[in-house]
Structures are given as C-alpha cells and as structure tokens.
Amino acid sequence: MRNRPTPAPFSLRSQRSKAFHRGVRPAFAESAERDFAQVRTGGADLEAMKTLTEYLKFHAKTHRAYIHITPQVEQIVRKSGVKEGMVLVSAMHITAGVYVNDNETGLIEDIDQWLEHLAPFRKDYKHHQTGEDNGDSHLKALLIHHEVIVPITEGKLDLGTWQRIFYAEFDGQRDKRVIVKVMGE
C-alpha cells in the first residue's frame, strides 16, 4: 500500500469509493450505481443464547466424493430450537472441504474435474517426503475451503432456492468427521 494516500474518515472514504466506481467501465459502474435495493425483515430482538454441537461421520468408498448434507444440517438446526442465528459446518480434516452450491450431478462432475485441473495429483509434492501421497488433497481442500456458515432465520436454514451444503472428500476410504455447531437464540 506504500504508494497510496492514507484514506480520509469513513464518510469521505465512501465518497472516494463512488468516485472510483465512476471510473470503472460500465460492467461494474451500472451495477454499482443503479441495480441496488434493500429489503428489511425481522427486528433486533434481545434473547438468551443457545448452542448445539453435533458431528457427522463419513467413510467414503471412493478416494474423492461429494456428499449432500443439507437434510442432516437442517435436522440438527431443528433439534437445536434456534430461531435466529448461524450454523457452522466445518470439516475436521485437512484433506476435505465443505461448500455450498448446486445439487446437480453434471455440475458435481465439472467441479471434480476442475479441482483436479487446478490442484492435480503429482508424485513430486514436497509433502510426500513425509510418506504421504495426498498433497493434491490438501490443495483441493484449500481451494474449495473447509467450512461454511449458514444463516438460520425463523428456525430454518436461510438458503437460496438452489443452495445446498456439500461435504467434499479428497482423501476418502477412511473415517472422517464434520462438526455442525448451531449458535443463536
């Protein structure tokens, strides 16, 4: 950042941001200036906090697998009794991930091939000097990310129409776990 001025206080900074946007080509500018609306729901309520923690267990039959877990997460949220809050869904391993996207077979295969393309299996990862052979599994997990936070509104997962939660296994055929922690009121 060394070549840029220290920003002015926030109100001015947000004007600066607008100025930046005016300079952006239409692709960005139109969206930023025109296509914006805001809808309010609910209100700020004072409540006591609740938590519930459960663990999902997996043992994939294959080296890589993509497992739809929205129904299991939804069931845990229902059990928690939390009406407003968030649920953390996080792989407890360094060769697995959790992501939110479409539950569509073709896309899942596209994702698998794309991950293999960007984080390919190779014999010569330095990590393999430890005796491991799963360097690519670590990189795939970093790319897809190991955790998501899903909002809970009126006691339900507040997901978009097509959003589904997936466990992504990149080094399967062994026992793995995902922690599901519900926190809210």
Shortest CB 142 distance to a second copy, Å: 6
Provide the minimum distance between the beta carbon of 29 and a second copy in the complex, in angstroms, as a whole number.
Answer: 9
Minimum CB separation of residue 97 from a second copy in Å reads 10
In this structure, the dihedral spanned by the alpha carbons of residues 92, 147, 160 and 35, taken in order and rounded to 10 degrees, is 180
Q: Which residue in the block uniquely carries the two structure tokens 């809050």?
A: 85
154-173: b (≥16 Cβ within 10 Å) or e: eeebebeeeebbbbbbbbbe
d(CA 69, CA 172): 16
Query: How far apart are CB 51 and a second copy at their closest, in Å?
Result: 4
User: Which structure tokens are listed for 111?
Assistant: 């994702």
